[in-house]
């Protein structure tokens, strides 16, 4: 049986570990340690991505599955004269989706300072209708630090400077009904699914048909996560990343979705059809979907010049790049598809 509790426990752990693109060492260390606990060999690339490998029956041909631990976040762009902080985005999201969020600023000296993300006209009692009329953008969104600071000099004395990272509070919650609500399920849910699949192979003393590499990338949200250092024998590359339910989509929060096309174009037809047949023959709850505003590690790899069949699967995550939610069933169905794919010819 799939150890779904292990999967959810590890998911919660990595969700609660900040890892915006460019600042992923802590969470990568956690994931690497999990692979080592499973007695799976690992190494780091020059870009500090993580690759874990299980040798297969056939070592001449490799399959590589990716998941990314980097998330949305921000950096300090400017220290304002009133002690507030302007920020610049890491990754793509709408400014209104972070308004009112608690956050942590990690200063260059290692100290952490809590704060709240607000507009510069947050008080209705002060600004009246301007509070709702203010456009949410890089000029109106700011951080109010939980420190007695009233000037740029006050902030500088704390050790905060331009370029320091900002972590959003993930507010991770697992409900009794099996939902996981949290920021950054994209793509930590996919990474947790990879860990659960790897554990299944080890727990059951199974060997995949082909040597399998788990590529944990750390720059996906800015477009070049798996653009380099993919194992040379890779013949098939599958990104394990979130699916996006919504109007006009077939994806839901309970299934694994097999992506046919995203903004980068169609995924490999033969591989897509094979994944569908594996799902059907193993009674796995699946959907097929297309995403107009989406790219993955698999598409990044092809743009970088890699040549292999590429695919994309993952659990449905509602309100992607906002206040995200999925269900453990979607993650479990993703794990099932990964396992059966790795055991197949």
- Known catalytic residues? 220
In angstroms, the CA 213 to CA 64 distance is 5
End-to-end CA distance of the chain: 22
Q: Measured at the alpha carbon of residue 174, what is the angle toward residues 168 and 179, in degrees to the nearest 5?
A: 105
Largest CA distance in the chain: 69
- DSSP secondary structure of 166-232: EEE----EE-TTSEEE-TTHHHHHHHHHHHHHHHHHHHTT---SEEEEEEEES-GGGT-TTSS---T
Asked if omega into 187 is within 30° of 0 (cis), the reply is yes
Element (H, E) at 328: helix 328-343
d(CA 153, CA 121): 23
Measured CA distances, 269 to 161, 258, 259, 287 (Å): 49, 11, 10, 15
- 131 three-class SS: helix
Of 88, 70, 72, nearest to 162 by C-alpha is: 88
In terms of C-beta density within 10 A (0-12 exposed, 13-18 middle, 19 or more buried), how is residue 110 classed?
Answer: exposed
């Amino acid at each position: 049986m799939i150890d779904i509790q292990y999967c959810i426990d590890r998911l919660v752990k990595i969700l609660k570990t900040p890892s915006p693109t460019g600042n992923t060492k802590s969470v990568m260390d956690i994931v690497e340690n999990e692979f080592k606990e499973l007695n799976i060999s690992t190494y780091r690339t020059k870009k500090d991505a993580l690759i874990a490998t299980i040798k297969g029956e056939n070592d001449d041909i490799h399959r590589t599955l990716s998941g990314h631990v980097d998330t949305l976040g921000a950096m300090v762009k400017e220290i304002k004269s009133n002690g507030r902080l302007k920020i610049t985005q890491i990754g793509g999201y709408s400014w209104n989706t972070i308004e009112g969020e608690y956050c942590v600023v990690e200063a260059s000296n290692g100290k952490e300072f809590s704060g709240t993300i607000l507009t510069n006209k947050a008080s209705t009692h002060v600004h009246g209708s301007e509070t709702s009329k203010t456009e949410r953008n890089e000029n109106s969104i700011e951080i109010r630090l939980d420190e007695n600071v009233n000037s740029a000099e006050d902030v500088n004395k704390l050790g905060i400077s331009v370029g320091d990272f900002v972590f959003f509070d993930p507010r991770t919650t697992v409900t009794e009904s099996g939902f996981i609500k949290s920021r950054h399920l994209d793509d930590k849910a996919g990474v947790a699914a990879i860990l659960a699949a790897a554990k299944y192979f080890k727990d059951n003393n199974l060997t995949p048909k082909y040597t399998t590499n788990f590529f944990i990338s750390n720059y996906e949200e800015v477009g070049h996560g798996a653009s380099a250092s993919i194992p040379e024998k890779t013949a098939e590359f599958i990104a394990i990343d979130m699916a996006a339910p919504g109007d006009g989509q077939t994806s839901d929060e309970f299934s694994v979705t097999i992506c046919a096309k995203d903004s980068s174009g169609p995924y490999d037809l033969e591989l897509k059809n094979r994944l569908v047949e594996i799902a059907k023959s193993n009674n796995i709850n699946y959907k097929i979907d297309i995403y107009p505003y989406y790219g993955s590690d698999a598409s990044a790899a092809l743009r970088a010049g890699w040549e292999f069949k590429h695919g994309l699967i993952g659990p449905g995550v509602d309100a992607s790049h906002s206040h995200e939610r999925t269900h453990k069933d979607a993650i479990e169905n993703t794990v099932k598809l990964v396992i059966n794919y790795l055991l197949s010819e």
